[in-house]
Amino acid sequence: MRRLALLLIVTALVAGCFGGLARDHVLVPAMALAFDGVEKSVHAGIADAVAAKELNTETAGILLAEMERLHAAIAAGDREALRGVDWPTLNTYATRGVTARVTKGELGVNGAKLHLRRIAKFNEAYFKALRG
């Protein structure tokens, strides 16, 4: 019985270690692969909000700086730096950017679906990477 308990404890510890490794070596690199498309959509969403006078240029500059911080954190594979990025706000502009790109004719319906799926997967990976 003791051996079984010890085996379960060791298994739990090893599984916990692998979770951290997966976040560092799988999720953040996957985010890096998706980043270009997500970044384009965020930029388009911010530009659309500025054009609609819903966002002033100063706030837009702050959001663009936040995107640079996100890019640097992903490029460095730094999960701690990711914690300091306001991705939920940027995510709002990413989805708005897809709509703006469709309106401008830059994306069709299928392209928009693919971009929205990419943003959703990026969002999921972001929050999973923060765990641990």
- Written as six digits, the tokens of 83 are 């914690």
pLDDT over threshold 70, residue 23: no
Condensed to tens digits (0 to 9), the pLDDT of residues 68-119 reads 999 999 999 888 999 999 999 999 999 999 999 999 999 999 999 999 999 9
Q: What does the block give as tokens for 61?
A: 């500059």
Angle (nearest 5°) at CA 38 between 33 and 41: 155
Inter-CA distances, 77 with 21, 83, 130, Å: 12, 12, 12
**Mean pLDDT across 29-54:** 92
Contact assessment for residue 90 and residue 42, using Cβ atoms and an 8 Å cutoff: yes
C-alpha to C-alpha distance for 80 and 124, rounded to whole angstroms: 17
Contact between residue 72 and residue 81 where contact means Cβ atoms under 8 Å apart: yes
- Dig out the tokens for 128 from the structure: 């999973």
